[in-house]
Amino acid sequence: MRPSAARIAAGLRETAPGIAAVILLLLIWEGICRGFAIRPFLLPAPSLVFAQTLAAWPVVLKHAWATLGTVLLGFAASVAISLPLAMLIVSSRALAAALYPLLVITQSIPKVALAPILIVALGANELPRVIVTFLVAFFPLVVGTVAGLMATPPELIELGRACRAGRLQELLRIRLPFAIPFVFGGLKVAAALAVVGAVVAEFVGAEAGLGYLIQTSMAFFKTPLAFGAVIVLAVMGILLFQAVALTERLLFPWSSGAAPPGAGL
Amino acid sequence: MIRIDRIRKLFPTREGEVEALRDVSLHVAAGEFVAIVGASGCGKSTLLRMIAGLIQPSSGQVLLDGSPVTAPRAETAMVFQAATLLPWADVLRNVTFPLRLMKQAGAGTEARARALLATAGLTGFERRLPRELSGGMQQRVAICRALLQEPRVLLMDEPFGALDALTREEMSLELLRIWQGREMAVVFVTHSIPEAVLLADRVVVMSPRPGRVAEVIEIDLPRPRSFEQEALPAFQAAAQRIRALIYGGRLPRAA
Protein backbone atom coordinates (compact mmCIF):
# COMPACT_ATOMS: atom_id res chain seq x y z
CA MET A 1 0.00 0.00 0.00
CA ARG A 2 2.23 2.81 -1.24
CA PRO A 3 0.58 6.18 -0.60
CA SER A 4 0.56 8.03 -3.87
CA ALA A 5 -1.02 11.35 -4.79
CA ALA A 6 -3.63 9.54 -6.87
CA ARG A 7 -4.51 7.20 -4.01
CA ILE A 8 -4.87 10.06 -1.51
CA ALA A 9 -7.03 12.00 -3.99
CA ALA A 10 -9.19 8.92 -4.50
CA GLY A 11 -9.46 8.51 -0.72
CA LEU A 12 -10.54 12.12 -0.31
CA ARG A 13 -13.15 11.76 -3.04
CA GLU A 14 -14.56 8.78 -1.14
CA THR A 15 -14.64 10.38 2.32
CA ALA A 16 -15.57 13.94 1.32
CA PRO A 17 -19.37 13.33 1.06
CA GLY A 18 -19.42 11.76 4.53
CA ILE A 19 -17.53 14.65 6.10
CA ALA A 20 -19.72 17.17 4.30
CA ALA A 21 -22.88 15.44 5.59
CA VAL A 22 -21.63 15.57 9.21
CA ILE A 23 -20.73 19.26 8.88
CA LEU A 24 -24.13 20.02 7.36
CA LEU A 25 -25.89 18.19 10.21
CA LEU A 26 -23.89 20.16 12.81
CA LEU A 27 -24.76 23.43 11.06
CA ILE A 28 -28.48 22.60 11.05
CA TRP A 29 -28.28 21.60 14.72
CA GLU A 30 -26.47 24.84 15.59
CA GLY A 31 -29.02 26.84 13.58
CA ILE A 32 -32.00 25.24 15.30
CA CYS A 33 -30.56 25.79 18.80
CA ARG A 34 -29.86 29.46 18.08
CA GLY A 35 -32.95 30.15 15.97
CA PHE A 36 -35.41 28.72 18.51
CA ALA A 37 -33.31 29.81 21.54
CA ILE A 38 -33.46 26.28 23.00
CA ARG A 39 -32.16 26.20 26.55
CA PRO A 40 -28.72 24.48 26.71
CA PHE A 41 -29.73 21.88 29.32
CA LEU A 42 -32.45 20.63 26.96
CA LEU A 43 -30.42 20.62 23.75
CA PRO A 44 -27.02 22.30 23.71
CA ALA A 45 -25.67 23.70 20.44
CA PRO A 46 -22.62 21.90 19.00
CA SER A 47 -20.43 24.94 19.65
CA LEU A 48 -21.38 24.87 23.34
CA VAL A 49 -20.79 21.10 23.54
CA PHE A 50 -17.37 21.63 21.98
CA ALA A 51 -16.45 24.53 24.28
CA GLN A 52 -17.56 22.85 27.52
CA THR A 53 -15.96 19.52 26.63
CA LEU A 54 -12.72 21.29 25.84
CA ALA A 55 -12.89 23.21 29.13
CA ALA A 56 -13.27 19.94 31.06
CA TRP A 57 -10.86 18.06 28.78
CA PRO A 58 -8.53 16.56 31.49
CA VAL A 59 -11.58 15.13 33.28
CA VAL A 60 -13.10 13.82 30.04
CA LEU A 61 -9.78 12.24 29.09
CA LYS A 62 -9.46 10.52 32.49
CA HIS A 63 -12.94 9.03 32.12
CA ALA A 64 -12.26 8.08 28.49
CA TRP A 65 -9.17 6.13 29.56
CA ALA A 66 -11.19 4.28 32.21
CA THR A 67 -13.81 3.31 29.62
CA LEU A 68 -11.20 2.33 27.05
CA GLY A 69 -9.61 0.01 29.61
CA THR A 70 -12.93 -1.76 30.25
CA VAL A 71 -13.68 -1.93 26.52
CA LEU A 72 -10.31 -3.43 25.64
CA LEU A 73 -10.40 -5.96 28.49
CA GLY A 74 -13.95 -7.00 27.59
CA PHE A 75 -13.03 -7.23 23.91
CA ALA A 76 -9.93 -9.30 24.70
CA ALA A 77 -12.04 -11.63 26.85
CA SER A 78 -14.54 -11.98 23.99
CA VAL A 79 -11.78 -13.01 21.58
CA ALA A 80 -10.10 -15.34 24.07
CA ILE A 81 -13.36 -17.15 24.84
CA SER A 82 -15.27 -16.95 21.54
CA LEU A 83 -12.67 -18.54 19.25
CA PRO A 84 -12.14 -21.74 21.29
CA LEU A 85 -15.88 -21.87 21.96
CA ALA A 86 -16.64 -21.70 18.23
CA MET A 87 -14.12 -24.47 17.54
CA LEU A 88 -15.74 -26.64 20.22
CA ILE A 89 -19.17 -26.06 18.71
CA VAL A 90 -17.94 -27.06 15.27
CA SER A 91 -15.96 -30.06 16.45
CA SER A 92 -18.87 -32.01 17.94
CA ARG A 93 -22.57 -32.14 17.27
CA ALA A 94 -23.31 -32.99 20.92
CA LEU A 95 -21.30 -30.02 22.18
CA ALA A 96 -23.05 -27.75 19.70
CA ALA A 97 -26.44 -28.99 20.92
CA ALA A 98 -25.36 -28.39 24.54
CA LEU A 99 -23.76 -24.98 24.05
CA TYR A 100 -26.12 -23.23 21.66
CA PRO A 101 -29.09 -22.96 24.07
CA LEU A 102 -26.74 -21.58 26.75
CA LEU A 103 -25.46 -18.99 24.31
CA VAL A 104 -28.96 -17.96 23.33
CA ILE A 105 -29.89 -17.63 27.03
CA THR A 106 -26.93 -15.29 27.65
CA GLN A 107 -28.15 -13.21 24.73
CA SER A 108 -31.78 -13.04 25.77
CA ILE A 109 -30.92 -11.73 29.26
CA PRO A 110 -30.88 -7.91 29.24
CA LYS A 111 -27.37 -7.00 30.31
CA VAL A 112 -28.59 -3.87 32.10
CA ALA A 113 -30.55 -6.18 34.40
CA LEU A 114 -27.57 -8.42 34.96
CA ALA A 115 -25.07 -5.67 35.78
CA PRO A 116 -26.30 -4.77 39.30
CA ILE A 117 -26.48 -8.46 40.25
CA LEU A 118 -22.92 -9.00 39.10
CA ILE A 119 -21.69 -5.94 40.97
CA VAL A 120 -23.21 -7.16 44.22
CA ALA A 121 -21.79 -10.63 43.66
CA LEU A 122 -18.31 -9.62 42.50
CA GLY A 123 -17.82 -6.29 44.21
CA ALA A 124 -17.51 -2.77 42.84
CA ASN A 125 -14.39 -3.31 40.79
CA GLU A 126 -13.36 -3.74 37.17
CA LEU A 127 -14.34 -7.42 36.95
CA PRO A 128 -18.16 -7.12 36.73
CA ARG A 129 -17.79 -4.34 34.15
CA VAL A 130 -15.49 -6.49 32.02
CA ILE A 131 -17.91 -9.40 32.32
CA VAL A 132 -20.86 -7.25 31.20
CA THR A 133 -18.79 -5.92 28.27
CA PHE A 134 -17.86 -9.47 27.35
CA LEU A 135 -21.48 -10.65 27.54
CA VAL A 136 -22.61 -7.87 25.21
CA ALA A 137 -19.75 -8.29 22.72
CA PHE A 138 -18.91 -11.98 22.39
CA PHE A 139 -22.03 -13.44 20.75
CA PRO A 140 -21.60 -12.14 17.18
CA LEU A 141 -17.98 -13.26 17.31
CA VAL A 142 -18.99 -16.84 18.19
CA VAL A 143 -21.72 -16.89 15.55
CA GLY A 144 -19.42 -15.42 12.89
CA THR A 145 -16.59 -17.82 13.65
CA VAL A 146 -18.90 -20.84 13.65
CA ALA A 147 -20.36 -19.72 10.31
CA GLY A 148 -16.85 -19.38 8.89
CA LEU A 149 -15.70 -22.77 10.16
CA MET A 150 -18.81 -24.38 8.66
CA ALA A 151 -18.55 -22.51 5.35
CA THR A 152 -15.34 -24.24 4.28
CA PRO A 153 -16.00 -25.72 0.81
CA PRO A 154 -16.55 -29.49 1.03
CA GLU A 155 -13.86 -30.06 -1.61
CA LEU A 156 -11.27 -28.45 0.67
CA ILE A 157 -12.35 -30.79 3.46
CA GLU A 158 -12.10 -33.71 1.01
CA LEU A 159 -8.64 -32.58 -0.01
CA GLY A 160 -7.64 -32.63 3.64
CA ARG A 161 -9.09 -36.09 4.09
CA ALA A 162 -7.39 -37.33 0.91
CA CYS A 163 -4.14 -36.10 2.48
CA ARG A 164 -5.02 -38.13 5.57
CA ALA A 165 -5.40 -35.06 7.80
CA GLY A 166 -6.85 -35.69 11.27
CA ARG A 167 -9.76 -33.76 12.78
CA LEU A 168 -7.47 -31.31 14.59
CA GLN A 169 -5.31 -30.73 11.52
CA GLU A 170 -8.43 -30.19 9.45
CA LEU A 171 -9.68 -27.62 11.97
CA LEU A 172 -6.42 -25.73 12.38
CA ARG A 173 -4.94 -25.94 8.88
CA ILE A 174 -8.06 -25.73 6.71
CA ARG A 175 -11.19 -24.61 8.55
CA LEU A 176 -9.71 -21.92 10.80
CA PRO A 177 -7.77 -20.05 8.07
CA PHE A 178 -10.80 -20.27 5.85
CA ALA A 179 -12.91 -18.70 8.62
CA ILE A 180 -10.64 -15.64 8.97
CA PRO A 181 -12.85 -13.26 6.93
CA PHE A 182 -15.87 -14.38 8.97
CA VAL A 183 -13.93 -13.99 12.24
CA PHE A 184 -13.06 -10.42 11.30
CA GLY A 185 -16.68 -9.71 10.44
CA GLY A 186 -17.54 -10.83 13.99
CA LEU A 187 -14.62 -8.87 15.46
CA LYS A 188 -15.84 -5.63 13.88
CA VAL A 189 -19.31 -6.05 15.40
CA ALA A 190 -17.79 -7.10 18.74
CA ALA A 191 -15.56 -4.00 18.81
CA ALA A 192 -18.55 -1.71 18.38
CA LEU A 193 -20.62 -3.67 20.92
CA ALA A 194 -17.80 -3.67 23.49
CA VAL A 195 -18.19 0.12 23.77
CA VAL A 196 -21.93 -0.31 24.35
CA GLY A 197 -21.29 -3.00 26.97
CA ALA A 198 -18.76 -0.93 28.89
CA VAL A 199 -21.13 2.05 29.08
CA VAL A 200 -24.01 -0.16 30.22
CA ALA A 201 -21.81 -1.45 33.05
CA GLU A 202 -20.67 2.04 33.96
CA PHE A 203 -24.25 3.29 34.18
CA VAL A 204 -24.92 0.71 36.87
CA GLY A 205 -21.81 0.71 38.95
CA ALA A 206 -18.67 2.76 38.43
CA GLU A 207 -16.78 5.69 39.85
CA ALA A 208 -15.07 6.50 36.57
CA GLY A 209 -15.69 6.15 32.86
CA LEU A 210 -17.66 8.00 30.21
CA GLY A 211 -20.89 6.25 31.20
CA TYR A 212 -20.38 7.51 34.75
CA LEU A 213 -19.53 10.99 33.40
CA ILE A 214 -22.78 11.09 31.40
CA GLN A 215 -24.84 10.13 34.45
CA THR A 216 -23.21 12.58 36.86
CA SER A 217 -23.31 15.39 34.27
CA MET A 218 -27.01 14.86 33.67
CA ALA A 219 -27.69 14.77 37.42
CA PHE A 220 -26.44 18.39 37.49
CA PHE A 221 -28.03 19.32 34.14
CA LYS A 222 -24.59 19.69 32.58
CA THR A 223 -26.05 18.51 29.29
CA PRO A 224 -23.25 19.85 27.04
CA LEU A 225 -20.65 17.75 28.86
CA ALA A 226 -22.87 14.64 28.58
CA PHE A 227 -23.13 15.26 24.85
CA GLY A 228 -19.34 15.63 24.72
CA ALA A 229 -18.94 12.26 26.44
CA VAL A 230 -21.34 10.66 23.93
CA ILE A 231 -19.29 12.04 21.05
CA VAL A 232 -16.06 10.75 22.58
CA LEU A 233 -17.74 7.32 22.87
CA ALA A 234 -18.73 7.43 19.21
CA VAL A 235 -15.20 8.32 18.20
CA MET A 236 -13.86 5.50 20.38
CA GLY A 237 -16.19 2.99 18.67
CA ILE A 238 -15.19 4.18 15.20
CA LEU A 239 -11.47 3.99 16.03
CA LEU A 240 -11.79 0.46 17.42
CA PHE A 241 -13.70 -0.66 14.35
CA GLN A 242 -11.08 0.86 12.08
CA ALA A 243 -8.28 -0.72 14.14
CA VAL A 244 -9.83 -4.16 13.56
CA ALA A 245 -10.26 -3.45 9.84
CA LEU A 246 -6.65 -2.26 9.59
CA THR A 247 -5.37 -5.34 11.42
CA GLU A 248 -7.22 -7.52 8.92
CA ARG A 249 -5.78 -5.64 5.96
CA LEU A 250 -2.23 -5.84 7.31
CA LEU A 251 -2.18 -9.43 8.60
CA PHE A 252 -4.58 -11.12 6.16
CA PRO A 253 -4.54 -9.14 2.92
CA TRP A 254 -6.18 -12.06 1.08
CA SER A 255 -9.18 -11.83 3.40
CA SER A 256 -10.27 -8.20 3.25
CA GLY A 257 -10.78 -7.97 -0.49
CA ALA A 258 -8.11 -5.28 -0.64
CA ALA A 259 -6.08 -5.78 -3.79
CA PRO A 260 -2.52 -6.70 -2.88
CA PRO A 261 0.26 -4.66 -4.50
CA GLY A 262 0.94 -5.74 -8.04
CA ALA A 263 -2.49 -7.29 -8.53
CA GLY A 264 -4.02 -7.35 -11.96
CA LEU A 265 -2.07 -9.00 -14.71
CA MET B 1 -3.04 -52.18 -10.32
CA ILE B 2 -6.56 -50.99 -9.41
CA ARG B 3 -9.12 -53.75 -9.26
CA ILE B 4 -12.72 -52.87 -8.51
CA ASP B 5 -14.58 -55.97 -7.56
CA ARG B 6 -18.40 -56.16 -7.73
CA ILE B 7 -19.00 -52.92 -5.87
CA ARG B 8 -22.40 -51.89 -4.62
CA LYS B 9 -23.13 -48.60 -2.89
CA LEU B 10 -26.29 -47.60 -1.09
CA PHE B 11 -26.84 -44.08 0.17
CA PRO B 12 -29.39 -43.54 2.93
CA THR B 13 -31.93 -40.84 2.12
CA ARG B 14 -35.18 -39.76 3.73
CA GLU B 15 -37.16 -41.93 1.30
CA GLY B 16 -35.10 -45.00 2.13
CA GLU B 17 -31.90 -46.23 0.56
CA VAL B 18 -30.85 -45.23 -2.93
CA GLU B 19 -28.65 -47.55 -4.93
CA ALA B 20 -25.86 -45.40 -6.39
CA LEU B 21 -23.75 -48.23 -7.82
CA ARG B 22 -24.71 -51.81 -8.68
CA ASP B 23 -22.27 -54.61 -9.37
CA VAL B 24 -19.49 -52.43 -10.76
CA SER B 25 -16.29 -54.25 -11.67
CA LEU B 26 -13.35 -52.60 -13.35
CA HIS B 27 -9.64 -52.99 -13.81
CA VAL B 28 -7.09 -50.25 -14.39
CA ALA B 29 -3.56 -51.24 -15.35
CA ALA B 30 -0.49 -49.36 -14.12
CA GLY B 31 0.17 -46.32 -16.30
CA GLU B 32 -3.17 -46.62 -18.06
CA PHE B 33 -5.45 -43.68 -18.88
CA VAL B 34 -9.09 -44.57 -18.23
CA ALA B 35 -11.97 -42.17 -18.74
CA ILE B 36 -15.38 -42.66 -17.13
CA VAL B 37 -18.32 -41.14 -19.01
CA GLY B 38 -21.98 -41.15 -18.11
CA ALA B 39 -25.05 -39.05 -17.56
CA SER B 40 -25.53 -37.22 -14.26
CA GLY B 41 -26.39 -39.57 -11.42
CA CYS B 42 -24.59 -42.59 -12.85
CA GLY B 43 -22.34 -42.71 -9.79
CA LYS B 44 -19.08 -41.91 -11.58
CA SER B 45 -17.94 -39.42 -8.95
CA THR B 46 -18.89 -41.89 -6.21
CA LEU B 47 -16.78 -44.54 -7.91
CA LEU B 48 -13.83 -42.15 -8.10
CA ARG B 49 -14.12 -41.29 -4.40
CA MET B 50 -14.14 -44.99 -3.57
CA ILE B 51 -10.86 -45.47 -5.40
CA ALA B 52 -9.56 -42.48 -3.41
CA GLY B 53 -10.65 -44.17 -0.18
CA LEU B 54 -12.93 -41.25 0.73
CA ILE B 55 -16.09 -43.41 0.58
CA GLN B 56 -16.46 -47.08 1.45
CA PRO B 57 -18.52 -49.46 -0.71
CA SER B 58 -21.57 -51.11 0.83
CA SER B 59 -20.36 -54.42 -0.56
CA GLY B 60 -17.54 -55.50 -2.82
CA GLN B 61 -14.11 -53.98 -2.62
CA VAL B 62 -11.52 -51.74 -4.24
CA LEU B 63 -8.05 -53.25 -4.40
CA LEU B 64 -4.94 -51.21 -4.96
CA ASP B 65 -1.92 -53.44 -5.71
CA GLY B 66 -3.84 -56.30 -4.18
CA SER B 67 -4.69 -54.70 -0.84
CA PRO B 68 -8.16 -53.29 -0.10
CA VAL B 69 -8.56 -49.51 0.02
CA THR B 70 -10.16 -48.63 3.36
CA ALA B 71 -8.80 -45.09 3.79
CA PRO B 72 -7.04 -42.49 1.61
CA ARG B 73 -3.66 -43.78 0.46
CA ALA B 74 -0.42 -42.03 -0.41
CA GLU B 75 -0.41 -43.64 -3.87
CA THR B 76 -3.49 -41.72 -5.00
CA ALA B 77 -4.00 -38.00 -5.54
CA MET B 78 -7.16 -36.21 -6.53
CA VAL B 79 -8.10 -33.23 -8.72
CA PHE B 80 -11.59 -31.79 -8.33
CA GLN B 81 -13.84 -29.85 -10.68
CA ALA B 82 -13.17 -26.67 -8.72
CA ALA B 83 -9.50 -25.90 -8.20
CA THR B 84 -10.14 -25.80 -4.41
CA LEU B 85 -7.00 -23.83 -3.70
CA LEU B 86 -6.41 -22.34 -0.27
CA PRO B 87 -7.33 -18.65 -0.69
CA TRP B 88 -4.77 -17.54 1.91
CA ALA B 89 -1.76 -19.34 0.48
CA ASP B 90 0.24 -18.36 -2.59
CA VAL B 91 0.66 -20.71 -5.56
CA LEU B 92 3.84 -22.32 -4.27
CA ARG B 93 2.42 -22.99 -0.81
CA ASN B 94 -0.76 -24.34 -2.35
CA VAL B 95 1.22 -26.84 -4.40
CA THR B 96 3.23 -27.98 -1.40
CA PHE B 97 0.23 -28.01 0.96
CA PRO B 98 -0.58 -31.77 0.80
CA LEU B 99 3.01 -32.74 1.47
CA ARG B 100 3.25 -30.26 4.33
CA LEU B 101 -0.03 -31.58 5.71
CA MET B 102 1.30 -35.15 5.54
CA LYS B 103 4.62 -34.00 7.01
CA GLN B 104 6.46 -35.30 3.97
CA ALA B 105 7.83 -31.97 2.80
CA GLY B 106 11.61 -32.02 2.67
CA ALA B 107 14.48 -29.88 1.46
CA GLY B 108 13.82 -30.66 -2.20
CA THR B 109 10.05 -30.16 -2.09
CA GLU B 110 10.07 -26.49 -3.03
CA ALA B 111 12.49 -27.00 -5.93
CA ARG B 112 10.33 -29.85 -7.26
CA ALA B 113 7.23 -27.68 -6.90
CA ARG B 114 8.88 -24.87 -8.85
CA ALA B 115 9.93 -27.30 -11.57
CA LEU B 116 6.38 -28.67 -11.81
CA LEU B 117 4.92 -25.17 -12.01
CA ALA B 118 7.40 -24.42 -14.77
CA THR B 119 6.19 -27.40 -16.83
CA ALA B 120 2.65 -26.09 -16.36
CA GLY B 121 3.69 -22.67 -17.66
CA LEU B 122 3.34 -20.98 -14.27
CA THR B 123 6.88 -19.66 -13.84
CA GLY B 124 6.72 -16.23 -12.24
CA PHE B 125 3.38 -16.92 -10.57
CA GLU B 126 4.79 -18.78 -7.54
CA ARG B 127 4.04 -15.92 -5.14
CA ARG B 128 0.61 -15.00 -6.55
CA LEU B 129 -2.57 -15.64 -4.61
CA PRO B 130 -5.18 -17.93 -6.22
CA ARG B 131 -7.67 -15.11 -6.76
CA GLU B 132 -5.14 -13.33 -8.96
CA LEU B 133 -5.12 -16.26 -11.41
CA SER B 134 -7.56 -17.19 -14.18
CA GLY B 135 -9.68 -20.32 -13.84
CA GLY B 136 -7.41 -22.30 -16.15
CA MET B 137 -4.30 -21.26 -14.23
CA GLN B 138 -5.94 -22.18 -10.93
CA GLN B 139 -6.72 -25.64 -12.24
CA ARG B 140 -3.12 -26.01 -13.45
CA VAL B 141 -2.01 -25.23 -9.89
CA ALA B 142 -4.43 -27.87 -8.58
CA ILE B 143 -2.98 -30.44 -11.00
CA CYS B 144 0.57 -29.52 -9.96
CA ARG B 145 -0.51 -29.94 -6.34
CA ALA B 146 -1.67 -33.49 -7.10
CA LEU B 147 1.42 -34.34 -9.17
CA LEU B 148 3.83 -33.15 -6.48
CA GLN B 149 2.66 -36.10 -4.37
CA GLU B 150 4.06 -38.34 -7.16
CA PRO B 151 0.92 -40.46 -7.16
CA ARG B 152 0.78 -43.76 -8.99
CA VAL B 153 -2.91 -43.10 -9.54
CA LEU B 154 -4.24 -39.67 -10.45
CA LEU B 155 -7.98 -39.34 -9.88
CA MET B 156 -9.66 -36.50 -11.75
CA ASP B 157 -13.29 -35.54 -11.16
CA GLU B 158 -14.38 -33.45 -14.17
CA PRO B 159 -11.19 -31.40 -13.79
CA PHE B 160 -11.89 -29.18 -16.80
CA GLY B 161 -15.67 -28.99 -16.33
CA ALA B 162 -15.61 -25.43 -15.01
CA LEU B 163 -13.34 -24.08 -17.76
CA ASP B 164 -14.28 -22.46 -21.05
CA ALA B 165 -14.12 -24.62 -24.18
CA LEU B 166 -10.82 -23.24 -25.52
CA THR B 167 -8.96 -23.51 -22.21
CA ARG B 168 -10.40 -26.98 -21.84
CA GLU B 169 -8.92 -28.23 -25.13
CA GLU B 170 -5.57 -26.67 -24.33
CA MET B 171 -5.53 -28.21 -20.85
CA SER B 172 -6.43 -31.71 -22.05
CA LEU B 173 -3.43 -31.84 -24.40
CA GLU B 174 -1.25 -30.45 -21.63
CA LEU B 175 -2.47 -33.19 -19.31
CA LEU B 176 -1.53 -35.84 -21.88
CA ARG B 177 1.94 -34.34 -22.24
CA ILE B 178 2.45 -34.44 -18.45
CA TRP B 179 1.03 -37.96 -18.18
CA GLN B 180 3.25 -39.39 -20.95
CA GLY B 181 6.45 -38.74 -19.02
CA ARG B 182 5.27 -40.62 -15.92
CA GLU B 183 4.42 -44.04 -14.59
CA MET B 184 0.99 -42.94 -13.50
CA ALA B 185 -2.48 -44.34 -14.06
CA VAL B 186 -5.19 -41.74 -14.61
CA VAL B 187 -8.88 -42.22 -13.88
CA PHE B 188 -10.65 -39.29 -15.50
CA VAL B 189 -14.35 -38.60 -14.92
CA THR B 190 -15.96 -36.40 -17.55
CA HIS B 191 -19.24 -35.38 -19.17
CA SER B 192 -17.60 -34.78 -22.50
CA ILE B 193 -17.52 -37.66 -24.99
CA PRO B 194 -14.88 -36.13 -27.32
CA GLU B 195 -12.70 -35.35 -24.31
CA ALA B 196 -12.91 -38.95 -23.11
CA VAL B 197 -12.05 -40.36 -26.56
CA LEU B 198 -9.21 -37.93 -27.10
CA LEU B 199 -7.56 -38.66 -23.75
CA ALA B 200 -8.16 -42.24 -22.80
CA ASP B 201 -6.85 -45.71 -23.60
CA ARG B 202 -10.22 -47.06 -22.55
CA VAL B 203 -13.54 -45.33 -21.95
CA VAL B 204 -15.86 -46.76 -19.31
CA VAL B 205 -19.45 -45.86 -20.19
CA MET B 206 -21.79 -45.89 -17.22
CA SER B 207 -25.57 -45.88 -17.16
CA PRO B 208 -27.59 -44.23 -14.39
CA ARG B 209 -30.07 -45.29 -11.70
CA PRO B 210 -28.51 -47.49 -10.48
CA GLY B 211 -25.01 -46.76 -11.71
CA ARG B 212 -23.66 -49.67 -13.75
CA VAL B 213 -20.90 -50.19 -16.27
CA ALA B 214 -22.67 -50.28 -19.64
CA GLU B 215 -19.60 -51.02 -21.69
CA VAL B 216 -15.84 -50.52 -21.74
CA ILE B 217 -14.58 -49.21 -25.08
CA GLU B 218 -10.98 -49.52 -26.24
CA ILE B 219 -9.80 -46.39 -28.01
CA ASP B 220 -7.57 -47.50 -30.86
CA LEU B 221 -5.83 -44.24 -31.69
CA PRO B 222 -2.07 -43.74 -31.86
CA ARG B 223 -0.28 -41.56 -29.33
CA PRO B 224 0.61 -38.74 -29.06
CA ARG B 225 -3.00 -37.70 -29.52
CA SER B 226 -4.05 -34.47 -31.18
CA PHE B 227 -7.25 -32.76 -32.25
CA GLU B 228 -6.62 -33.74 -35.89
CA GLN B 229 -7.52 -37.29 -34.85
CA GLU B 230 -11.09 -36.19 -34.22
CA ALA B 231 -11.62 -36.54 -37.98
CA LEU B 232 -10.41 -40.16 -38.06
CA PRO B 233 -13.01 -42.93 -38.52
CA ALA B 234 -11.79 -44.73 -35.38
CA PHE B 235 -12.44 -41.55 -33.31
CA GLN B 236 -15.88 -41.06 -34.85
CA ALA B 237 -16.83 -44.71 -34.35
CA ALA B 238 -15.85 -44.66 -30.68
CA ALA B 239 -17.69 -41.39 -30.04
CA GLN B 240 -20.79 -42.71 -31.84
CA ARG B 241 -20.74 -45.91 -29.84
CA ILE B 242 -20.48 -44.04 -26.52
CA ARG B 243 -23.26 -41.66 -27.52
CA ALA B 244 -25.50 -44.59 -28.45
CA LEU B 245 -24.83 -46.24 -25.09
CA ILE B 246 -25.57 -43.09 -23.12
CA TYR B 247 -28.76 -42.13 -24.94
CA GLY B 248 -29.84 -45.76 -25.44
CA GLY B 249 -32.66 -46.21 -27.93
CA ARG B 250 -33.86 -42.64 -27.45
CA LEU B 251 -31.12 -40.92 -29.42
CA PRO B 252 -32.29 -37.32 -29.63
CA ARG B 253 -32.78 -35.92 -33.10
CA ALA B 254 -32.70 -32.22 -33.80
CA ALA B 255 -34.91 -30.84 -36.52
ipTM above 0.90, yes or no: no
* A54-63, A80-89, A137-146, B244-253: range with lowest mean pLDDT: B244-253
CA atoms within 13 A on the CB side of B201: 13
- For B195-238, write each residue's pLDDT tens digit: 999 999 999 999 888 889 999 999 999 988 988 999 999 999 99
- For B37-48, write each residue's pLDDT tens digit: 988 888 899 999
- For A10-35, write each residue's pLDDT tens digit: 888 888 888 999 999 999 999 999 99
| Residue B132 to residue A164, Cβ atoms within 8 A | no
- For B128-178, write each residue's pLDDT tens digit: 999 999 989 999 999 999 999 999 999 999 999 888 888 888 889 989 988
Mean pLDDT of chain B: 90
- For A151-204, write each residue's pLDDT tens digit: 888 888 998 998 888 888 888 899 999 999 999 999 999 999 999 999 999 988
Mean pLDDT of chain A: 88
Query: With an 8 Å Cβ cutoff, is A167 touching chain B?
Result: no
Query: With an 8 Å Cβ cutoff, is A252 touching chain B?
Result: yes
Query: With an 8 Å Cβ cutoff, is A5 touching chain B?
Result: no
Q: What's the pLDDT score for residue A163?
A: 86
List the single residue in A with minimal CA-CA distance to B128.
Answer: A263
Q: What's the pLDDT score for residue B165?
A: 87
Q: Kind and range of the H or E element at A87? A: helix A57-91
Q: What's the pLDDT score for residue A264?
A: 35
Q: What's the pLDDT score for residue B249?
A: 54
Question: How far apart are the C-alpha atoms of A259 and A224, rounded to whole Å?
Answer: 44
pLDDT band at B15 (very low <50, low <70, confident <90, very high): confident
Given a cut of 60, whether residue B186 has pLDDT beyond it is yes
**How many CB atoms within 10 Å of residue B18?**
13
CA distances from A150 to A145, A175, A182, B12 (A): 9, 8, 10, 23
Domain A57-251 top-level CATH class: mainly alpha
pLDDT band at A3 (very low <50, low <70, confident <90, very high): low
**Domain residue ranges of chain A, discontinuous segments joined by +:** 57-251
Nearest Cβ partner for B78 among A162, A180, A264: A162
Domains of chain B and CATH, by start: 2-75+151-247 (3.40.50.300), 85-150 (no CATH)
| Residue A164 to residue B54, Cβ atoms within 8 A | no
Cβ atoms of B55 and B9 within 8 Å: the answer is: yes
Q: What's the pLDDT score for residue A261?
A: 40
